[in-house]
Structure formats: C-alpha cells, structure tokens
C-alpha cells in the first residue's frame, strides 16, 4: 500500500503517519522531517531550506522532488510507504508520477482554518528525532520530553501564529488543488480530521483496507 496523507498544516498528517507506520510496519517519507534534519545539520542546503520554512513558504519543487527521489532509493521504501507532506503542489505530484512513484490511496484530512489555528499553538516536536506531539491531543508521558528518545520537545518556529496564517494561504493556493487532482484519479478519500485521533486512524485504515 502506497499512501499519501494530504491536508492543511496542522491537520494531523505527521501524527497519523507515525501511528500508521507503527501499526502496519510501513516506512514514512516525510519531506518536512527531511527538511528539518537538513536545517538542524547546519549545511548550506539546510540554510537554504530555512529561508523558506521560517516564512511559511514552500521549498522549491525541484529541491523537494530530488529529495524524495533520493529517499525512494533507500531499501525501506521498496515496498509500502506513507508520504507525509509530499506532494505539496500539482507540479510535485506530476513529477512524482513521472519518476514512477505509485499511489494506491490519498487520504485528505479535512479541517477548517479556525480549528487549525487553535491546534497549532499546542504542537510540539522532538528536537532530536522529530516525533510530533500535541499538549492536549497527543501528550508525551512526561511533559516536554520525547517518549521515544528522551529529547526535548519544542515549538517549531513555523508554528508561530503569523507563520501559520501564511502557511494556510500557501496551502489553499498551492496544495488544495491536489484534492481535485487525486479525486479525478479515483484514489481520494476525505476524512473529518476534527474527530478524535484514534477515530481518524481507524477511518484511514478502513479506507486503505487495512482494518
């Protein structure tokens, strides 16, 4: 099963990708995480990425597509995978198809802009391993500490309210057209992302025939 998780920033893509990856033993191709790792490494490419992420803009298509092509060559991506945060534009979706990237199911996590604004303020991420948390919806066992690696949980700079507003604009302009793109290909399932986290997981698993 090759699945894309689609939805606005804050819809719960990263959280659901983690849960489903563990439940099914499937790898995640998460462009946001790969980009954050590059930024954390301090490399020249990371610095370039940061100039986009800090202002809520998308990283240019060519760079992201190259990153995904590279990730796809790794052995854990030869079978099933979950794409989290990619594609983000129709151009990326087209290039992904051109490179032979297959998609069996696209899950659209549906949520209003208002609800996203509320959610974002509670988001935290492990600064070491990138695991996402939420102070109310998905808290760690111990406040401020990652369950997986013991790393410190921090608020991402791109989760600041003004950046979130910009990211929502970018989402509506550049990413939302993918809903029609994949609906036209008959692989889209819309799921209400405001339901409880467990319910959303069950609906995703049912949609991909893994329940």
> What are the catalytic residues?
13, 88, 123, 156, 167
Assess 95 for contact with ligand AMP (CB under 6 A): no
Give the largest Cα separation in the chain, rounded.
45
Between 32 and 101, name the residue whose CB sits nearer to ligand AMP.
32
Backbone dihedral angles phi then psi of residue 128, each to the nearest 5 degrees? -95, -55
Q: CA–CA separation, 88 vs 7, rounded Å?
A: 9
Assess 52 for contact with ligand AMP (CB under 6 A): yes
Backbone dihedral angles phi then psi of residue 89, each to the nearest 5 degrees? -140, 160
Answer for which of 8, 58, 200, 204 binds ligand AMP (CB under 6 A) is 58
Answer for which of 9, 82, 105, 116 binds ligand AMP (CB under 6 A) is 9
Considering the complex, what minimum distance in angstroms separates the CB of residue 175 from ligand AMP? 9
Instruction: Give the three-class secondary structure for 160.
Output: coil
Query: Which of 4, 49, 11, 9 shows the shortest CA–CA distance to 26?
Result: 4
Between 45 and 57, name the residue whose CB sits nearer to ligand AMP.
57
Assess 15 for contact with ligand AMP (CB under 6 A): no
Q: Do you find a cis peptide bond into 87, omega within 30 degrees of 0?
A: yes
Q: Say if CB 20 and CB 4 are below 8 A apart.
A: no
Between 52 and 138, name the residue whose CB sits nearer to ligand AMP.
52
What residues between 160 and 199 interact with ligand AMP by CB under 6 A? 167
Assess 3 for contact with ligand AMP (CB under 6 A): no
Answer for which of 8, 11, 26, 85 binds ligand AMP (CB under 6 A) is 85
DSSP string, 102-116: --SEEEEEE--HHHH
Answer for which of 2, 71, 88, 134 binds ligand AMP (CB under 6 A) is 88
């Amino acid at each position: 099963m090759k699945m894309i998780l689609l939805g606005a920033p804050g819809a719960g893509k990263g959280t659901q990708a983690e849960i489903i990856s563990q439940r099914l033993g499937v790898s995640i191709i998460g462009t946001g995480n790969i980009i954050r790792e590059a930024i954390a490494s301090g490399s020249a490419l990371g610095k370039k990425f940061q100039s986009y992420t800090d202002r809520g803009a998308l990283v240019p298509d060519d760079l992201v597509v190259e990153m995904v092509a590279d990730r796809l060559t790794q052995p854990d991506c030869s079978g099933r995978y979950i794409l989290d945060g990619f594609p983000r534009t129709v151009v990326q979706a087209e290039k992904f198809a051109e490179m032979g990237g297959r998609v069996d199911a696209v899950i659209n996590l549906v949520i209003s802009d208002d609800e996203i604004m509320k959610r974002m303020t509670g988001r935290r991420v492990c600064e070491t391993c990138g695991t996402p948390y939420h102070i109310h919806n998905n808290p760690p066992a111990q406040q401020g500490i990652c369950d997986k690696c013991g790393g410190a949980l921090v608020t991402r700079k791109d989760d600041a309210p003004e950046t979130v507003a910009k990211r929502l604009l970018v989402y509506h302009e550049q990413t939302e057209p993918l809903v029609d793109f994949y609906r036209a290909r008959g692989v889209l399932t819309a799921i209400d992302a405001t339901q409880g986290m467990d319910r959303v997981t069950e609906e995703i698993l049912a949609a991909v025939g893994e329940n």
